[in-house]
Amino acid sequence: MSVNKEIKRITTNTIQEMKVRGEKISMLTAYDYSMATIVDDAGTDIILVGDSASNVMAGHETTLPITLDQMIYHASSVVRAAKRALVVVDLPFGSYQGNSKEALNSAIRIMKEAGAHAVKIEGGVEIAESVSRILTAGIPVMGHLGLTPQSIYKFGTYTVRAKHEAEAQKLREDALKLQELGCFGIVLEKIPAKLAKEVSESLQIPTIGIGAGQHCDGQVLVIHDMLGINKGFKPRFLRQYSNLYDIMHDAIKNYNTDVKSNSFPNEKEQY
């Protein structure tokens, strides 16, 4: 007799319960059906459809060029694959800044057209109106503080943020504001570990770190980085779990050799 074991979906409530229990939260990016299937099946708690797709999927230097339509395309592919993970989707640059009505419309499109479970938005008090408006529609929002890649031309560098007290204090205030507004979690990117620990302990909602040390409630990495698909990208915060660039390179090279030597296909590989 076979027993079908139901897969329990991770929700924003689940993430909050993990924070309370002290259970760490795992989060990885994915941008397509095949990769998301693997990420989900491996037991990852949250899949982020990041605007980093602009870099790793489209080859742009920054995250700024990716459009809302493109994010919806990537997100819908990931949602079809995810049976367990909570799927969070970045609102791309230009889809929410300075216009809360546009922010709401962008978030609604992501939820309706992609079937996403939540959206992520960069910034603090300056985007409070947009966050509030999205939340009033019943759409879960994850915040993002510290290094905010969509503001790269404002800061001019990808170096560690909030090293000085003035910026650190603003980050503390922004984190509390996002919690007060109703965000279910906050990504803290590339800030001092001591500050990330302080902020994480001051909040009731979970923090997800990337380059923010071990005291965040969870961690996130770009899947192409942690698998070693992006050759040569090795920041201090990255632990590379595989070297798929070389593995795939060698496999493709062997395939090309076999085709040119007429050893593929052989008699067993034809009809």
Supply the residues annotated as catalytic: 189
Burial of residue 139 (number of CB atoms within 10 Å: 0-12, 13-18, 19+): middle
**CA pair distance 98, 253, nearest whole angstrom:** 49
- Angle of the 100-109 helix axis to the 68-81 helix axis, nearest 10: 40
259, amino acid identity:
V
**CA pair distance 27, 15, nearest whole angstrom:** 11
**CA pair distance 84, 24, nearest whole angstrom:** 17
Closest to 151 (Cα-Cα) out of 117, 116, 126: 126
**CA pair distance 229, 216, nearest whole angstrom:** 26
**CA pair distance 78, 74, nearest whole angstrom:** 6
Closest to 40 (Cα-Cα) out of 72, 1, 17, 10: 10
**CA pair distance 67, 198, nearest whole angstrom:** 35
DSSP letter for each residue of 130-164 = HHHHHHHTT--EEEEEES-GGGHHHH---SPP--S
**CA pair distance 51, 38, nearest whole angstrom:** 20
Q: Look at residue 38 and give its three-state secondary structure.
A: helix
**CA pair distance 131, 139, nearest whole angstrom:** 10
What secondary structure letter does DSSP report for 207? E
